[in-house]
Structure 1
Amino acid sequence: KTVFEFKGTQSEVNTVMALDNGNIMFTEAGPKPRLIEVSREGKIIVDMPIQAQTKDHHLQTRMARKLPNGNYLIPQLLDKVVREYSPDGKVVWEVKTPNWPFTAIRLPDGNTLINCTLGNLVIEVDPKGQTVWSLSNDDLPGKPINDACGGHRLPNGNTVITSHHAKANETKLIEVNRDKKIVWTYTNSKNASIHHFQILDTNGVALSGKPLR
């Protein structure tokens, strides 16, 4: 049974997120990229324009997230920038990225973890935009990162990363610690790849707190 439905009006719907207030948040890609919040009854509560390039709709945004302060954190791929918007559409913070940003996670200490897809790169920046931690294939044996789309920062400080372009029997997920040591990897025999994910538990114990993904 369908309990909620809202049809987009442009080229793509890139992000869907269920919010604590009961609303559903979307981003729409198209000639007028926007972020919207919709009530369960289908009423648009927030309609915020996104300041993104319009030449390639598919590469406008991914994995937008609403922050605890009420703002929105939006990776903008082809613009090579992650921006924080206030609900009225003002850019209140941004950081340029060395490659297309796919996932951006605001951490409890105010830093932002960013996965840069085809750069096979993960960076963590502080509120001033300075890189305080990074991970690339140069840090890892066997160069296992192949299109770093999804990411998840675990409560223990480790980071899990997808390799979206990985095929059958290639590394599809990798967990690394702060010292850039591999903790575990995941693969399977299917050609289907992993775009994004969420770690629910470790060794049967549910993760504490809100997931940072």
Structure 2
Amino acid sequence: MKDAAGFIARHTVLARPALVPEIELHLATEITPIWQASEDWLAERDIEPPFWAFAWPGSQALARLVLDSAIPVAGQRVLDFAAGGGLAAIAAARAGAAVVEAAEIDPLAIAATRLNAAHNGVVVDASTADVVGQPCRWDTVLAGDVCYEAPMTGHIMPWLRGLAAQGAAVLLADPGRAYLPKAGLQPVARFSVPTTRELEDRDSREVTVYRVER
């Protein structure tokens, strides 16, 4: 993707998420203009919304816990799954993780994660490789706001539970999405996270961070 970093920089502003002011990201203020700009730049139509351009409530909650050492990651191998713009990954790197991976299927999200990581002076290995189904090579897995569709939930939850069974600490942050599983999750923290009406139907979301049980 030629000059993806330049495209992102032109269509976002540097801003600090409400719950994680220590980290500055390239973020959009409105979804429609950057969505249309992405379609024009890619010369494609009906693409997925640019979720990477917003600091989602689940990622903010995970990043907050990581920076506060409530989720200990120092010296560990960490995966930020469905990373968006890489907020939780950057927090893990800032908190001393030995290796941080960010997994996303959207190439623009990977470009945004790399740009955001560089801006914050940390190293994150960001890749569009599909990690679902891969054996566990991480000590901690962070997954923010991933249960928003039934097919997505059905695809990833058996794998996340399998990672937990292999010994990883799997933390899932959810702001009340409809397809969150009802069992096998142990709540560990709750936050009220300010949101934008560009993405949500309210001004804040109550986010619960769960540990996925083995």
What TM-score do you get using the length of structure 1 for normalisation? 0.31
More helix by share: 2
Q: Which has the higher contact order (CA 8 A, sep 6+)?
A: 2
